[in-house]
Chains A and B, each alone.
Chain A
Amino acid sequence: MANSYYDPSDLRKFGKITEWSEELGTKFFEYYGKVFEEGALSAREKSLIALAVAHVVKCPYCIDAYTKDGLQRGITKEEMMEAVHAGAAIESGATLVHGVQMMNKYNKLSM
């Protein structure tokens, strides 16, 4: 067993999850592939969304995969970093908007 929870070479074994649950694995990868095709959004735009989400969910595999995917699509590092900030802003906003709940509770409990 690897002595770390994350091993970069595990990413290329991702497809193997299908071996232990063929139907669900196959359906997942079909869905996954379909999601990232050109559609109302371009594949390039979806790659940047994926990169931002990868950071928000803090998935090291996804960060590796979508940094590489972005490079392959000619996405610049400035675009990639802006996408990461968009994700970070939503994540910190999600924390801070709960400040309103804190304020409501504070006010309710205070005389």
Chain B
Amino acid sequence: MLQRSLAAKESIKTGLAMSLACGCAMALGWSNPYWACIAVAVVSLPTVGETFKKCLQRLLGTFVGGVVALAVIALFPQERWACIACLALYLGICAFKITRSKAVYFWFLSGYVSLLIAVAIIGTSAEHAFYTAVLRMQETGLGILVYALVSVFLWPQHSSRDLDATVKSLLAVQAKILHLSFSLLRGNGQEEAVGSWLPLGDQLLNQLKRRLDASEMEQFEIRELRGYWQRLHGALQAMLSSMRLWHESFPELRHLDLERFVPDLAQVHEAMEGRFSRLQDSLEGGNLGEEPPLTLHLEQQQLASLSHLERAAVLTTFAALQRVEADSRTLLACLRAIKEPPRRHKSVLPPESAFPEIKRRADADSLLALFRGMLSVWLGSLIWIFVDPPGHLAFVVFVGLFTLMGIMAPQMDWRKFLVVNLIGVVFAAFLYVFIMPGLSRYAGLALLIFVFITTITYVSWRPRLAALRLAGVVPFIMMTNLQNQQTYDFASFVNNSAAMVAGILITAAIFQVPISSKPEKMLLRVMARFFRQAEGYLTSVRGRPAAGAGKEPLEAQWAAMQLSVGKIGGWANSVDYAVLQAGAKNAVGALVGSLHSIAYCFRLLASVPPENRACPGGIDQDFQAWDGVLLNALRQWAYAVRDQEAETRLHESLSQAYAAIEQAIEAAFEAGSDQMDDQHAAALYGLLGGYRGVHRALIHHAALAADFDWARWRESRF
């Protein structure tokens, strides 16, 4: 009921804003008032903060795109090939930046507007191009201003109100993960239960980031404490990451009773649950007092009775638990700094550099976006010059626009997009032919715009129907070509519609060049990329320089691996499982889960400080041999064509190698143990625990891969 009420309010706001924006543009005597309507359609988002953020990006993108277009026109006034080359290069750069930048919408607008303004000069004059650029900015600004005013004064929705709720939900999920993990360690829980809550934590973290960015725009109090809120987000992220690392250490403890070696495990469990309960209560006005570190003891005598492998398992879990406890104290400090006056807490807060934002590196997808962006302008221009399709220059703009949309949403289903746009065109045609000619005053047009837009927005309110909403609204606004002196030319309408449809078809073809963008092909490609990244990460971890030489490259590699896993999950959601074998969806889900596990096991391995990794001779040789086994598996998955037979053989060899290496390393540790002091021994046990975790994760992945129908996934399909 609440959702429906919110949908109705937002739909009414969008319809009202669009009617007002169109009316204001017409009253001011501006050409192309439908540009103001498009601005409203695009920036209408649920909360004030999100709207302001998008408005700013739209305005800046329009300005920069206009400046670039005018510069290109000024530099190459009579040289069409140089003009096309520059525009193609700029669109390619915008496409490249879309894949890397946080300001995705800015780059999208910039590329699209540059093309729009540049084609305005064809057959006209430079003054007309300048006039078009200025008019575009005016209309965009008007649309943004009208919607901003409507969203602020009529039923305003604030992201900041949801901020505390999101933090509380995230804390609740982390508390649940903590409880389930402790239950599992104490022999009462189930492995699957913990695993099912971790993705929810990731989703809430992303939601918090978006709400925080939006809230900074709408509320001064949050903007003032921006640094503290960013630290809190970083602390929550670090907490979730530590919980994942802790969870990855559990399988090696299967036959061990951890409470024998950590006697205060039950008290720590209770204390940590109490801490999370106080964290959640603080968001509803409860007090957060100072909390000393929880003391965790290891029973050294009990530990000495274990084999070296079992000792490594216990110490790895223990170190991960200590990290979880430390991160919970950091979380507490960050939340206290927000809820209580910050001046008193500056000294206990971690610096902002403790949670660095890792910049996204360019990968193969970024370069592909650059290529496709450039290809779209060249192909559109060549078709316009030599074929002169319906819509003429509008065709070039449509191809560029849809290419940028496809790069923003890589999993775009072009068939559904075409069908939805065709439905939008049919609706628009009905209104254009039968309703609009009967309107004599603006009141009638305003009512038509209000009813149509409100209905479309209400029906397609859910986020996954956003494409349907745009496809219903944009054809109506663009094809009807609302003007002050309205004329009706059905031939022009059909020509523009045909240009739009042809643009979609050409863009769908562009996304098959040079490699197919079908979800199942992209999934396999990105999976191979993940294993190449894992290979690079392992070699960096083993060969990395001593402390002080900078850890950013390793962090950037880790971020790239996580991004790849995220992309694989995205592609997995877009696959048409109807054309694959039964159970394919679950099989892919399990594979993606195993990739997460591999990534975090590598992270656990890398957590041992490099200065503590020098090994006595025999142990070092065994670790190097272990490196060889792991790298061999990673390289096979990265570079070889995968099939069930090869995967089965790899699974068997990995399992056999695991057993052999465990025996050898146990003996090496036994022989070298008296050469190590306590600190060095703890680090080496951490390394041993890390290697076992990675190997176990690779064996699990190999087992899943052996049952996966790779050939069916690689088949050519339409």
| A associates with B | no
Q: Which residues of A contact B (CB under 8 A)?
A: none
Q: Which residues of B contact A (CB under 8 A)?
A: none
